[in-house]
Amino acid sequence: MSKEAELAEVHAGFPSPAEDFMDVALDLNKELVKNPSSTFFARVKGVSMIDDGVGDGDMLIIDKSAEPWDGCLAVCYVDGEFTLKRYVNKGDYALLMPANKAYKPIRVDADNQFAVWGVVKYLIKKM
């Protein structure tokens, strides 16, 4: 048996009916990137969003062309720094909400240099 055949025939449990489709190629850029010129990848650093399932080292796919909506997960630029939070629009101000009780919400208003830099479209986790 060739090495290729040995690698292709490794099972861990019951055989899968999906084996018939093993030759189908999956292009993650085609599947996950709808606006290539405005899509960016970033790696998460920190644990402020851990209760939303976003951990240190996870990868984000961010679309800068997407309009932010109330409650979206967004990369925001605040006073010279980038942060990942839930964006909550309060009209005259916004709240950037963490998903970890050890962190406080960030209030931003006209006194802050602020922009929603991009909306997170996908989260890629390493298992």
* 3 is an active site residue: no
Query: pLDDT at position 34, please?
Result: 87
Q: Are strands 94-97 and 114-124 parallel, antiparallel or unpaired?
A: unpaired
Of 85, 90, 104, 126, the active-site residue reads 85
- 30: buried, middle or exposed (CB in 10 Å: 19+, 13-18, 0-12)? exposed
Of 48, 65, 101, 104, the active-site residue reads 48
**Domains along the chain with CATH numbers:** 35-124 (2.10.109.10)
Euclidean distance between CA atoms 46 and 80, whole angstroms: 18
The pLDDT tens digits along the chain (127 residues) read 444 433 455 556 666 666 666 666 778 788 888 888 999 999 999 999 999 999 999 999 999 999 999 999 999 999 999 999 999 999 999 999 999 999 999 999 999 999 999 999 999 998 8
* 16 is an active site residue: no
Both tokens of 64, joined, read 């800068």
Query: pLDDT at position 112, please?
Result: 97
